[in-house]
Amino acid sequence: MMNLKQFASHAYRQYELVTCINMLEPWEKKLINGFFLIMLSLVIFSSFMYLPDYLQTLLQFLTPPTWHNKSPENAAYAAQKMTRS
């Protein structure tokens, strides 16, 4: 069983081998790793900022219009329809 430090070292070594950055000079590695880190952080940021709105729009598009209202009779209708399915 590898401890966390060994696992991180192994994962970084695999990352270097897969991306072939093990052949680069240290300053080039830092440049490429910085670029990947910035791209990953932008993807994570945009996922938290924009994905919920996109999912809400998608769910409104896919679900029947009666489910969009939050009134009790519509909730009962939705629950009844879900139990039939």
Alpha-carbon span 59 to 65, nearest angstrom: 10
CA distance 83 to 66: 16
pTM of structure: 0.57
**What confidence tens digit (pLDDT) does each residue in 46-79 have?**
988 888 888 888 888 788 766 555 555 556 666 6
CA 76/CA 53 separation, integer angstroms: 26
2 vs 67, more confident: 2
State the pLDDT at residue 51.
86
Whether the per-residue pLDDT at 1 is higher than 70: the answer is: no
